[in-house]
Structure 1
């Protein structure tokens, strides 16, 4: 493993995702900073930043830093190691953002600021996608990534405002064992009516029936398996159902956050 003292910039690391940012964010102030990290093809004007490609773009078995001060053999080794560890823990390939964050926590003691990254893209499958088409973001275990990210934020000096969900999910219905009912829907293809009801359940109701372990067991319901040509998660292929499962995902992410931050 690389030495944690290998990467000690004078200022905190700035990890800048490709998601939405607040109105105060401007790249001009970061133009000449070397301790900035960007991903894939985003923010191409930041030419001095360390740019990290995901495994597909890098055409390799793991993410790779293609330029910047992190484009070193030792950091490449740590990226690969973090990618393997996270993918094993998630039972799914890890995103380049979470992989990079994990790698930095293992190689630097400096503060890390994360901007423009929520690890919760919507699961809604819009009508521009055909029913048999797969949305690429559905191949990531986002609930699992948030679980790991929230734990990292409690262990290391990380500032990540966008990770914390601000709005309490709206819900009103109250039923027993919603987690069991959600699991049973895998055996009920096209039962959108039941899915709609589950999407109206309040976070308070879910929390009455969830623990971190039971919530972790639900994570496979919200992503696809790259190794399989078939999936029981029919809601990820149906336009209407994907809207409902996206609401449930947000509610469970809120519950996950509540459970992890209360311990």
Structure 2
């Protein structure tokens, strides 16, 4: 088994599962995930063990599979302690290859998949992405990226090409007509909250919502209120500790066996989570100086 210092990888392209066309890289290895189907000597498919029906942490198909399986498991366990949750395969791959300091590019992956359940899921069903701590994953990915940027300034060629990692307020403006219509309908709902917008600490309000055992009309109205707040309101009360607390309120690692937070399993409530989490992701970038 090759040690990490003797990695067989020199250049890697990581392609996530978000929407959009993709093509394997012409040079180096291309990493794809789970259900993505592709073949080729330089293509490696990484699956979560449970997804592949295995008791192993990861199932890797392609060259250097034994080495990768071992190293991915090692990195995943390191990240799990930082996230208090099992990490996504995409983050694990990024962290591993960042540690190697190789040429790295990523696409179709912003570490912010939608939590909107739509209207078709039953209460017992869950979105696959709900099991990961995405806000925490973005925090770690940005820290890796900033660290690599510092090394790059010093002359090391270790800065990953990952344009989708950096979010801007304009990133959320390119919505479909259907999404815009939904937002207009939401805006017609007048939130009723015991806290006025002038003295509102949105972090405290969201924590209170997470403590509710069940959906209530007032809880839903406050969720609507939070979804409509400007970024500046969040920034007024921002701290890293508050973000770390909120991270733990936006995922359910074991939805098959635990109820989790009411807004994650309710179709109506989940429609308001994405704009809230997007603002929180921008807050994290602000704290880390990632721009």
Same fold, TM-score > 0.5, yes or no? yes
- Give the match for residue 217 of structure 1: 245
Of 164, 179, 184, 2:203 maps to 179
RMSD: 2.5
Q: Which runs of 5+ in 1 are unaligned?
A: none
State the aligned residue count.
252
- Give the match for residue 88 of structure 1: 81
User: Is 1:134 matched with 2:126?
Assistant: yes
- What is the CA deviation profile of residues 186-212 of structure 1, one whole-angstrom value per residue up to 9, with x for unaligned ones? 234322011111111111111111122
* Contact 1:34–1:49 under 8 Å retained in 2: no
Q: Which runs of 5+ in 2 are unaligned?
A: 149-158, 174-186, 188-196
- What is the CA deviation profile of residues 2-47 of structure 1, one whole-angstrom value per residue up to 9, with x for unaligned ones? 23342343xx3111112134xxx652x63x6442211123141445
Quick one: structure 1 residues 261 and 55, their matched pair in 2 at CA, closer, same or farther if it must change by over 3 Å?
Answer: farther
User: Is 1:67 matched with 2:45?
Assistant: no
User: Is 1:160 matched with 2:165?
Assistant: no
- Give the match for residue 178 of structure 2: none
Paired residue secondary structure (1:52): strand
Question: How far apart, CA to CA, are the structure 1 residues paired with 2:66 and 2:56?
Answer: 17
- What is the CA deviation profile of residues 61-85 of structure 1, one whole-angstrom value per residue up to 9, with x for unaligned ones? 31232212x3133x32211111111
Paired residue secondary structure (1:257): helix
* Contact 2:145–2:160 under 8 Å retained in 1: yes
Of 109, 124, 129, 1:117 maps to 109
- What is the CA deviation profile of residues 88-112 of structure 1, one whole-angstrom value per residue up to 9, with x for unaligned ones? 2111111011111112223x22121
Of 33, 39, 43, 2:33 maps to 39
Quick one: structure 1 residues 40 and 262, their matched pair in 2 at CA, closer, same or farther if it must change by over 3 Å?
Answer: closer
Question: How far apart, CA to CA, are the structure 2 residues paired with 1:213 and 1:2?
Answer: 36
Question: How far apart, CA to CA, are the structure 2 residues paired with 1:126 and 1:262?
Answer: 32
TM-score, normalisation: structure 1: 0.86
